[in-house]
Structure 1
Amino acid sequence: MIDLKTLREDPEAVRASQRARGEDPSLVDALLAADERRRSAVAGADDLRAEQKRMGKEVGKATGEEREQLLSRAKELASRVKEAEAEQTAAEAELDRVQRAVANIIEPETPPGGEQDYVVLKHVGTPPEFDFEVSDHLDLGTALGALDMERGAKVSGARFYFLTGVGAQLELALLNMAAASATAAGFTLTVPPVLVRPEIMEGTGFLGAHSSEVYHLQEDDLYLVGTSEVPLAGYHQGEILDLSEGARRYAGWSTCFRREAGSYGKDTRGIIRVHQFNKLEMFVYCAPEQAREEHERLLAAEEDMLGKLELPYRVIDTAAGDLGDSAARKFDCEAWFPSQQEYRELTSTSNCTTFQARRLNVRHRDEEGGNRIAATLNGTLATTRWIVALLENHQLADGSVRVPEALRPFMGGKELLTP
């Protein structure tokens, strides 16, 4: 949720953010009205309760006819207090509803517009040139005995797959390499739950515009996570953190599940867009004034991983309309996919400022000893999709694939994958 103090002080900034996202700026006025209604209701109920308390003391001292009159007034006042408290409850519920409908306020540098309005910040590496006909990852993976889409569909349906042989080894190698990189950088490695309660899923912002992407187990009222960002965001729910020695940094290794609703016909070949995959996700809690620095740290970690795997990539500044509700700014790293002759997203990192932590009530102590809402950030360090870029960029004429030097220790020293 956005900060109501910011809303009151600069509502136009919130309207501008809504317009940049392509969302309804009138929600800001609705939120201002709901905020005013709630404050008025709270003040009214407080005044009546105070009056009720004073009258209670008067009744205790009064006798005879005066006491009877006071008791009659007290009964009437009790009815008004009950009505005022009901109004307060309704006003608070309405405020919460409208506040949750307003997306996070974007950072000033975030480009306005939709999915195609991103800004390319830089290119790193040169796309490889091949003197043979390029194969895509599915043909390469099938020949290597790394992928089995047919049996994945037989067992679980469309967009499921088996990683077999060197395919399974590649995924474990990637994730282990990412885990080693994260722990070396000071992240605490975790294997979090992949089923979470509704308030955790909702608190991270995934039950808004993207709720159709989420698998729900109705009988248990639990959600399958699409990223370990979700359980890691809930890890410190309701806590007050000591950040005096710096940010809390975690790395979560989990299986992830996405319904991919609305993506029918897109990326149906191979493992680019699937319902289940594995991922190593970085997650940070920090003081709000440290969030930008932490965002750059997460991006640098992602770029370091891409560099070690010798993948040409570009970094884009994602446009406001392509951000999730929680993100104020997001950088994507897109690797070159030779079979498609274009850059495709491999990893992203988002600064969610205080949006998630406010919903989940995660605070930290400031230098004066007061409690403030923390900031949260996330960034992906490796996923199953990276196999696509590895196979395609490092393929050789005979269908074999070169293993990047930095990955070889995690592949038992293998230098080449052969059909």
Structure 2
Amino acid sequence: MLDIKKMRQDPDFYKKKLGTRGVKPEEIDEVLDLDKKRRDLLQKTEALKAQRNEASEKIGEAKKKGENADEAIAQTRKLGADIKELDKKVDANDEKLHDLLAGIPNIPHDDVPVSLTEEGATELRKVGTIRKFDFEPKHHWDIGTNLGILDFDRAHKVSGARFVYYLGLGAQLERAVYNFMLDEHMKDGYTEVLPPYIVNAASMYGTGQYPKFRDSVYRVNGEDMTLIPTAEVPLTNYLRGEVIPTEELPVYVTALSPCFRSEAGAAGRDTRGLIRMHQFNKVEMVKYTKAEDSWDELEKMTANGENILKKLNIPYHVITLTTGDMSFTAAMTHDIELWMPAQNKYREVSSCSNCTDFQARRMHTQYRDENGNLQYVHTLNGSGLAVGRTVAAILENYQNEDGSVTIPNVLVPYMHGVTKITKENAVPFRNK
């Protein structure tokens, strides 16, 4: 959530910056009008309270002197009723102001490319050599289905579209990938966490999923409890409402979790394969930092994600998303996109974002600076990486003409020595 005081001081700055994210100037004006109305109402309330205090003193003085205090008592009651009505107006105004502010995205960093669409993203670097195949590379869903390690049809029977069964060495490959990721992140200083997979509405609000993206999640127990769309939610809310000791900053945490997304608005997009699922595994990275450190920490976090692909030897590039394409809470986002040979294009596998103090204000997560003053932390999050998409890239980049898939060297120990997935070893119960 944005700082209303700063918005009040420089409304033109906020209109200009937020205009690059599709926020209309009149939306800012409406927020500021409600803010002014709130301050006017509070001023009237304070004036009435002062009058009530004077009337109360008159009642006390009259009683001491044995004089009639009926007029002062009547005045006190009327003032009390007026104050009560004003308090109702303040509460109603505050609720509307809060709802409007909660729907306004973060201020983009000056270096974020300006565009209301995804077009115009800046490529920062391209890493790795794209493999030249001497045969037509297959899509990962065909590779996995032919090997028997991915079963979309039976998942559709059991759960519906955008679900999958991993079988045999396919399930083992998924496990190898996320265990490798977690081990690498721990080497980079992250503390591994096993978080809850169901969170309350306050947690969803804290990281910015609510109220804007309420229709993109799976809610349970009415509207209060939600299956997590990403481990960012429980990891970032872990210190919600707390003052973090300065000496503990920066805090690095990582977690593997299932992620549940209804994918509302994604109809017709990536209907096949592992790219856009209702349930998928992801290793998440989250940081809490001091304000002055957060931009350096964003670059480090991006490098942590890149490290996984470098060691897997999968080509990728890093782009900075446009103002209109980055997430609601982000001030800047670097996307890591890996190479998918069958699609002949890069596909996103990680978004690393600096949310500055936007989430911390919603969560009231702070620290004390060197002068002892309370400051909001900056929060960062990034996929390290989306596991299913990484598996898809392995299947496509490491496929062989005979339909087998070679295991990347760094994953062989996690695969208990298996170096290649073939039809003969893929799913043991089918090869008896």
TM-score bracket relative to the smaller structure: over 0.9
Which residue of structure 1 aligns with residue 52 of structure 2?
52
Among residues 400, 404, 407, which one is paired with 1:400 in the alignment? 404
In the TM superposition, 1:301-312 aligns within 5 A as 301-312=304-315
Among residues 323, 346, 362, which one is paired with 2:326 in the alignment? 323
Residues 1:344 and 2:347 aligned together: yes
What code does the residue aligned with 2:108 have?
Answer: I
Q: Which one is further off, 308-317 or 131-140?
A: 131-140
8 Å CA contact 1:45, 1:88 repeated in 2: no
8 Å CA contact 2:353, 2:382 repeated in 1: yes
CA RMSD between the two structures: 1.6
Q: Deviations over 1:251-299 (max 9, x none)?
A: 1211111111122221111111111001110111112222111111110
8 Å CA contact 1:339, 1:392 repeated in 2: yes
When normalised by structure 2's length, the TM-score is 0.93
Which residue of structure 1 aligns with residue 427 of structure 2?
none
Among residues 70, 80, 83, which one is paired with 1:81 in the alignment? 83
Residues 1:108 and 2:110 aligned together: yes
Local SS of the residue matching 2:138: coil
8 Å CA contact 2:103, 2:212 repeated in 1: no
8 Å CA contact 1:138, 1:270 repeated in 2: yes
Deviation at 1:12, TM superposition (A): 2.0
Residues 1:262 and 2:268 aligned together: no
Local SS of the residue matching 2:411: helix
Q: 5+ unaligned residues in a row in structure 2: which ranges?
A: 424-432
Which residue of structure 2 aligns with residue 12 of structure 1?
12
1:134 & 1:111 partners in 2: Cα distance?
34
Q: Deviations over 1:71-109 (max 9, x none)?
A: 222122212221222222122212211211211111111
Residues 1:145 and 2:148 aligned together: yes
In the TM superposition, 1:4-403 aligns within 5 A as 4-63=4-63, 64-65=66-67, 67-113=69-115, 114-219=117-222, 221-382=224-385, 383-403=387-407
Local SS of the residue matching 2:126: strand
C-alpha change, 1:205 and 1:136, in structure 2 (3 Å) is: same
What code does the residue aligned with 2:42 have?
Answer: V
8 Å CA contact 2:139, 2:342 repeated in 1: yes
8 Å CA contact 1:197, 1:223 repeated in 2: yes
1:27 & 1:243 partners in 2: Cα distance?
37
1:208 & 1:85 partners in 2: Cα distance?
25
Q: Deviations over 1:136-194 (max 9, x none)?
A: 11121123332111111111111111011111111111111111111121211111111
Could you tell me the percent identity over the aligned residues?
Answer: 39
Which residue of structure 1 aligns with residue 426 of structure 2?
none
8 Å CA contact 2:155, 2:163 repeated in 1: yes
What code does the residue aligned with 1:152 have?
Answer: A
8 Å CA contact 2:201, 2:223 repeated in 1: no
Which residue of structure 2 aligns with residue 412 of structure 1?
416
Q: Deviations over 1:26-74 (max 9, x none)?
A: 2111111111111222222223223323432332122444522222221
C-alpha change, 1:201 and 1:315, in structure 2 (3 Å) is: same
1:26 & 1:268 partners in 2: Cα distance?
38
How many residue pairs align between the two structures?
Answer: 419
2:223 & 2:326 partners in 1: Cα distance?
30
What code does the residue aligned with 1:386 have?
Answer: T
8 Å CA contact 1:145, 1:166 repeated in 2: no
Q: 5+ unaligned residues in a row in structure 1: which ranges?
A: none
1:245 & 1:195 partners in 2: Cα distance?
27
C-alpha change, 1:248 and 1:50, in structure 2 (3 Å) is: farther
8 Å CA contact 2:249, 2:288 repeated in 1: no
Deviation at 1:212, TM superposition (A): 2.3
Local SS of the residue matching 1:277: strand
Q: Which stretches of structure 1, 4 residues or longer, exceed 6 Å deviation after superposition?
A: none
Local SS of the residue matching 2:230: coil
What code does the residue aligned with 1:92 have?
Answer: D
2:77 & 2:100 partners in 1: Cα distance?
35
8 Å CA contact 1:34, 1:98 repeated in 2: no
1:269 & 1:98 partners in 2: Cα distance?
38
When normalised by structure 1's length, the TM-score is 0.96
